[in-house]
Amino acid sequence: MKIIIYMAAVLFITNAVANERPDFELATYNAPPYQFIENKVIKGITVSTVQCIFHKLNKKISIDFYPLKRSLRELARNNISGVFPISPDDKTYMNTSTPISIEKWYWLTNFPLADQNNAKGFNKKLIGAVNGSPAHNWLLKNKFSVAVSVTTREQLLNMFIAGRVDAIIIDDNEANRDIEFHQMIRSVEHNWQFIKFESHHFAFSDEVLNENINIVEQFNENIPSCNPLSLRLSHNEQQLLINYLTPYLEKLSHYLNATAHPTKLSDVFSAQELTTLDKLWQTQAKQQDGSLYNFITTSQLSVFLSQLQNDSKGAVTEIIAIDNGGYTIGLSKDTTDLFQGDEPQFLNTFPGGAGTFYISDIKYDASTQVFQSQVSFALAYQTADADKTVNKDSKNERRDNSLSNNDLSVAVVTFGVNVEKVIQASNNNSMLAIKQ
């Protein structure tokens, strides 16, 4: 009897322990402010994001600190369930999420920079890095010679201030939050130059993927609510984008002045039709066919916008022309919604009148894997004369009448911009010093 009771007690304890075991055992590494230990508790921005996501997935997790290289080895052996954050350079397999955090890398040097991505430009300069960090790995991959390796960011910064290293990589997200950092570097000669956006991802083990087929998709779906990724542009970076887009805006204005177009979608569709246009657009956009879809995408204006985008060689990711009712009347690539009147690009420009502009924060587009910002302008132009059109049906007569008015024909033009590509091009061309 005692044996039976003893066995029952052991079984109960074993089941209790099993019930308390986490569903996923995860590894991360020390990299403040994203991951760090405070009062023996692992905390940080990225840690909070991961905890939030797994909470929404109703999964229990445990998180331990590992050196990054070791954690990747343990992941490959299926000894742990996941590792975060890992950089694109570490993504040797496809078990990774979309970004859970984004860093904005700059060179911080005590000498002027000619080409930030050319290792030859650092000849005889001492480069320092935190050993095993994403920046350290990137330097080695790109054939930079790392003269000094340290264990913490504080050590690295102190060595730069003391003149013991000439160049280090700084995450501007971190630097912008740290007043002490800016106070420390004031006393020494320093130069800034943008390098790249560094996206960080969550990686699952093969075993987890086999047992949880849709776990990556489910994880990705919850990232926006747990950490809506975005980066703010500095004043100089905003001016850089405006300077870059000015020639495109001038070409578009010239084209609109010289060509007859519907002033707005209400000149073509009735008020009743407008109430259902968005649903109709979404249906036809999926099919890539239909009267409304073809009217918008095959118009002369859309063809012109597509050509403008192509001319940018990837720097411009999309162009949308929006009428003064908030409806898209021309585009270079399909949009999810035809009505843009309730979006920031319209609400922050159109009420201010011609010349008003709005620049969004930088966001990661998972479909294109591009870090982009939307730059929107309220645009006024002299409409074409009615006698430039020749069609005489009733709808075209309405277009002709509207075109003879000197009103705002295209209320807003929105450019999607590959910010990384534009800033890197400006560095190479010495167009503008990015950092103030």
pLDDT in tens, 173-225: 766 667 777 778 888 888 888 888 888 899 999 999 999 989 999 999 999 88
122 neighbors 167 (Cβ within 8 angstroms): yes
Cα 411–412–418 angle (5° rounding)?
170
Backbone φ and ψ of 19, nearest 5°: -70, -25
50 neighbors 81 (Cβ within 8 angstroms): no
- Taking each helix axis from N to C end, the angle separating 215-226 and 45-56, rounded to the nearest 10 degrees, works out to 120
Q: What is the dihedral of CA 158, 30, 130, 85, to 10 degrees?
A: -140
Count of C-beta atoms within a 10 Å radius of residue 253: 17
pLDDT in tens, 335-373: 888 899 999 999 999 998 888 999 998 887 766 678 889
100 neighbors 223 (Cβ within 8 angstroms): yes
DSSP 122: G
Task: Indicate yes or no: pTM above 0.85.
Answer: no
* Domains of the chain by start residue, with CATH: 2-100+202-226 (3.40.190.10), 102-200 (3.40.190.10), 235-428 (3.30.450.20)
Confidence category of residue 412, pLDDT binned at 50, 70, 90: very high
pLDDT in tens, 72-106: 899 999 999 999 998 876 655 568 898 898 888 99
Most confident of 30-39, 186-195, 304-313: 304-313
Strands 127-130 and 146-150: parallel
